[in-house]
Amino acid sequence: MDTTQRTDQQRSADRRRRELLEAADRVVLRDGPQASMNAIAAEAGITKPILYRHFGDKGGLYAALAQRHTDALLDSLRAALDAPAERRERVESTLDTYLAAIEARPQVYRFLMHPAEGGQGGDQGGDQGFDVGKHSAPLLRRMGEELAQVIEERLDLGPDSQQLARVWGHGIVGMMHAAGDWWLGERPCSRAELVRGLADLLWGRLAAAGDKMGGPGF
């Protein structure tokens, strides 16, 4: 098989994988944590063994969907952080971007963060259940590391800057996740009120931190 044939096959496989993920997305938007491999295969117009061939099991499909949605969310968060605005405004915009994303697609959020809400150990028909912590924790860790890199690049935190940036990155992601999860479930206040409250919580040393590049900073 020559290089052109291999490239064409890879493109075809990548396109098919995207199509299957889009079908999975449609089912997740409808069913949330109860989305099953059977339903996703039916939506894609294939049999479940073919779905297994592409993703292995529900955990593999979950990981692929998680990367897809996490990539999109991180792109949005970076855009909010890099917008030309004062630091407080950018912090609020970043918090709002995260909360707006989980509010817009709550079923996707629940599928990614609370798959156990499906109520069964696994899909009927042989799918094995999967532990929420095993799969959701890497998402949060990735977001924490990405945010840490952004903080380190944009703020002068003095000695041990890298370590402190990682502490802040993971701490802020944990705060957003915990507060957002609570807010999405109970809706005790408006999104704007939650954003202001979280920004107030952050507005301590962050406000006084020096900018590496000058200007409004982080």
Provide, rounded to the nearest whole percent, the portion of the chain with pLDDT above 70: 81
Give pLDDT tens digits for 81-116. 888 888 889 889 999 999 999 999 999 888 888 866
Fold of 1-56: Arc Repressor Mutant, subunit A (1.10.10)
Q: What is the pLDDT of residue 196?
A: 94
Give pLDDT tens digits for 42-66. 999 999 998 888 888 888 888 888 8
C-alpha triplet 207, 212, 215: angle, nearest 5°: 65
What single string gives the DSSP state of each residue in 73-142?
Answer: HHHHHHHHHHSSS-HHHHHHHHHHHHHHHHHH-HHHHHHHH-GGGG-SSS-TTTPPP--HHHHHHHHHHH
Residue 117 or residue 133, greater confidence: 117
- Tokens representing residue 2 in the block: 């020559």
Task: Give the chain's mean pLDDT.
Answer: 83
Q: Which CATH number applies to 58-116+130-206: 3.40.1390.30, 2.120.10.30, 1.10.357.10, 2.40.50.100?
A: 1.10.357.10
- Note the pTM of the prediction, 2 decimals: 0.78
Q: What is the pLDDT of residue 85?
A: 85
Cα distance between residue 83 and residue 41, in whole Å: 41
Mean pLDDT over 126-140 rounds to: 59
pLDDT surpassing 60 at residue 5: yes
Residue 187 or residue 210, greater confidence: 187
Mean pLDDT over 188-211 rounds to: 84
Quickly count: other Cβ atoms within 10 Å of residue 57's Cβ.
17
Cα distance between residue 21 and residue 44, in whole Å: 9
Q: At what angle do helices 132-154 and 161-186 cross, to 10 degrees?
A: 130
